[in-house]
A and B are shown apart, each in its own frame.
Chain A
Amino acid sequence: MTVPPGPEDPTAAVERAFREERARVLATLIRQVGDFQLAEDALQDAFAAAVATWPRDGVPDQPRAWITVTARRRAIDRLRRARATADRTARLAELARLDAQEHRPDADPPAGAMADDRLRLIFTCCHPALAMPARVALTLRTLGGLTTGEIARAFLVSEPTMAQRLVRAKRKIAEAHIPYRVPPDEALAERLSGVLAVVYLVFNEGYGATQGDRLVRGELCSEAIRLARLLAELMPGRPEVLGLLALMLLHDARRGARVDEHGAFVPLDRQDRTRWDQGRVREGLRTLDRALGERRPGPYQLQAAIAALHAQAPSWEQTDWARIAAFYESLGRLARSPVVELNRAVAVGYAEGPAAGLDLLAPLVREEALANYQPLHAAHAELLRQAGDRAGAADAYRRGIELSANDVERAELERRLAAL
């Protein structure tokens, strides 16, 4: 973090401290006061105090330390008033001890302890005992820089609904005694993959959906990338963390090219590749290299490797489809899913010809559970068309059109059907 030269405008300093320090300070405060809600309320008090006093007394040399100490004292005040709180006496004694110990408010706590607190916060927000929407909301609210209103808009719910979701999650953490800690070694791998799933869900929510406030949705992508960077920094030597970061960077690089001037979705094969963000692509490729250097492949690294091949291809036709097909095959062995199989069949279709693709697609087309899966019919139609089976392709296009949930997709399939 760089400090701007010269005296800073106190109001701007408060805003900057809020943006940059809120999550860090909150992470430490939750551990010290032992309660999410109390920590949040006390932190809010501390920022209000900063707004009131910094313009008068000047911006402190160590804004983070000032906010931390002030928030802790506000927490003590709040606890003294809240007589019904469980373990109130013990918690007050502990806070008083911390307060006496750190009587130098200009000293920052050690960096290591701070990193631990942020990891505690991440793992607690993503605890499997919380429902997925609550994990997502809590992670964005406490670790990200989004307000409750922004999160509500991004997930297309009302602000009171989102606020309620956050309150319930914090209440469950308190009442069920969800521990504020990094999971022990034997549970760490599984819990980390749960955290990565939350981060990826945030990203996809911003990247995938076509509804909602586009500006806020772009921020979801940025927040997910920021969270993955934070995880990569706090938990080095975890290749899947880097793999997810690389995957999101490589997808995010295409964000600008996915929407045309009318706001309509543009599929990968028709994107203007000069509009891809090359800085993001380079960072994604570098991050993927670091991940692969650990020599422990996983689903996110494989997906990132596929995205990397797309990112480096000069055109859709000149893509290295054989390697993409091989990566999908590896991915299918780690985590079998119809989506992976479908993508593999498409890649094989490009690499070895439509007949080979259709062979792989055949079992999926017969599967009852996938009868209403639109992308399957769209891909099937495309392979049949390439194989010269116009009647079969027309049937599959019609089925895909029937199942299309959005107008852009439907219009595209209708165009292809008409072109047969």
Chain B
Amino acid sequence: MPQYLLLMYQPADGGPRQADGSVITDPEDFKAEHERWMRYEQDLKDAGLYVDNRGLAGAEAATTVRVRDEETQITDGPFAETKELLAGYFLIDAPDLDTALEYAAKVPSARYGSVEVRPIWG
């Protein structure tokens, strides 16, 4: 079965948000958001599509490395400054792109960020 990486991009500033884009501050809302993520992961597992999932530390912890003319260049920060940054991923099995897109739309952060769906090569 084909595999897809669901790359989750989120607004560079602030943490998880409500569907209307406002940053979550209320502890009850945090709890509800956490439950949405747990439920999503469980949905993937129930459908037999779950392979792996990781969240990333913030972009302020990122370091970018390039080797040019055998010289290693190290710079602070992600490879490109954008409004939305890579915040984590799900690796899933899916029979086709339609299924992958359906589950990408169910990622909780799709409501305030975006999800890039990339087929795994091969």
Contacts and interface: CB of A to CB of B under 8 A. Distances in A.
A179 B122 contact: no
A177 B101 contact: no
A179 to B, nearest CB: 4
Interface in B1-55: 2
A129 B97 contact: yes
A203 to B, nearest CB: 27
B70 interface: no
Nearest to B98: A179
A190 to B, nearest CB: 12
Nearest to A174: B119
A86 interface: yes
Nearest to B121: A175
A86 B122 contact: yes
B97 A177 contact: yes
B98 A176 contact: no
A214 B94 CA distance: 46
Nearest to B102: A187
Nearest to A183: B98
Nearest to A128: B101
A183 B119 CA distance: 20
A264 interface: no
A98 interface: no
Interface string A162-197: 000000000000011111000100010000000000
**Chain A interface, >50% SS class:** loop
Interface of B: 2, 95-98, 101, 117, 119, 121-122
Interface string A357-371: 000000000000000
Interface string A116-129: 00000000000101
A176 B122 contact: no
A178 B97 contact: yes
A175 B119 contact: yes
B119 A179 contact: no
User: Nearest 7 pairs between A and B by C-beta?
Assistant: A179-B96, A177-B2, A176-B97, A177-B96, A178-B97, A176-B119, A177-B97
Given A175-B119, A177-B96, A187-B98, 15 more contacts: A127-B97, A129-B101, A175-B121, A176-B97, A176-B117, A176-B119, A177-B95, A177-B97, A177-B119, A178-B96, A178-B97, A179-B95, A179-B97, A179-B98, A183-B98
Contacts of A187: 98
Contacts of A183: 98
B61 to A, nearest CB: 31
Nearest to B96: A179
B121 to A, nearest CB: 8
A86 B117 CA distance: 20
Contacts of B96: 177-179
A333 B54 CA distance: 45
Contacts of A127: 97
Contacts of A175: 119, 121
Contacts of B119: 175-177
Interface in A242-266: none
18 contacts: A129-B97, A129-B101, A175-B121, A176-B97, A176-B117, A176-B119, A177-B2, A177-B95, A177-B96, A177-B97, A177-B119, A178-B96, A178-B97, A178-B98, A179-B95, A179-B97, A179-B98, A187-B98
Interface string A93-126: 0000000000000000000000000000000000
